[in-house]
Homo-oligomer: A and B are copies of this chain.
């Protein structure tokens, strides 16, 4: 922790990469940008960019998120640090250390396509062939993390609009985990967890036309789930 000569070491570029996930039509989608130049020209990549000199990684991530999605207000959106990728050869041109984030969005708008990227689009998770750089790995790590977080935290509401039905909340779990859940049990479990959701009095929504109107809920104040909402056990699930 000494030897603080600013130029004694090779300078590193520091970037943020964003794994922005959302649910569209019951399927998990990822925000990706198409690369216009080498390396990986024509490949899809996670949105991201350089840290500005007076900016933390969290601020940079939120700024990039606003630029890429075109959302006016990203201050309330769920953004969380995933981990940092620092392998020396992860970018063939120079040494880039990247702090990766996951972001969860409800009902996203079409991305502006502006900002840095030539083209930004929502693509179904897993459909975009090999991504540029080590972004396949980052995206897979993000998916793993989200799946695990659903068990122990209330992040699922971050995928939902401000007011949502329990059926929509359950769809989040089923889509991310890729498993079906028993509706009555899911309902009881969620309602039994204080602070997970709170009812919107008197409100109801017709979901998809048919069927009984569903009561509406808002996200509660709790952030962690006790006890956890465990996914159906498959043996030897990865971390």
A239 engages B224 (CB within 8 Å): yes
Contacts of A81 in B (CB 8 A): 83-84
Partner of A86 from the list B14, B37, B49, B153 (CB cut-off 8 Å) is B14
List residues of A (55-97) whose CB comes within 8 Å of B's CBs.
Answer: 55-58, 81, 83-84, 86-88, 93-95, 97
Q: Per-residue CB proximity of A179-196 to B under 8 Å, as 1/0?
A: 000000000000000000
| Residue from B4, B12, B152, B238 in contact with A14 in the complex, judged by beta carbons closer than 8 Å | B12
Q: Which of B2, B56, B228 has a CB less than 8 Å from the CB of A87?
A: B56
Evaluate contact between B97 and A97: CB separation under 8 angstroms: yes
The answer, yes or no, to whether A212 is at the interface (CB within 8 Å) is: no
Identical chains bound together, number: 2
Interchain CA distance A51-B54 in the complex, whole Å: 21
Tell me, in angstroms, the Cα distance from A4 to B97 when the chains sit together: 13
Q: Interface digits, A206-239 against B, CB 8 Å rule (1 contact, 0 not)?
A: 0000000000000000111011101001011111
Instruction: Please name the residue on chain B nearest to A14 by beta carbon.
Output: B12
Q: Shortest distance in angstroms between A60's beta carbon and chain B's nearest beta carbon?
A: 8
Contacting pair A1 B33 (CB below 8 A): yes
Known: A4-B94, A6-B13, A51-B97. 11 other contacts (CB 8 A): A1-B47, A1-B117, A2-B36, A6-B94, A12-B13, A53-B88, A55-B88, A56-B87, A97-B97, A224-B237, A228-B230
A positions within 8 Å CB-CB of B: 1-4, 6-7, 9-15, 33, 35-37, 45, 47-58, 81, 83-84, 86-88, 93-95, 97, 99, 116-117, 148, 152-153, 222-224, 226-228, 230, 233, 235-239
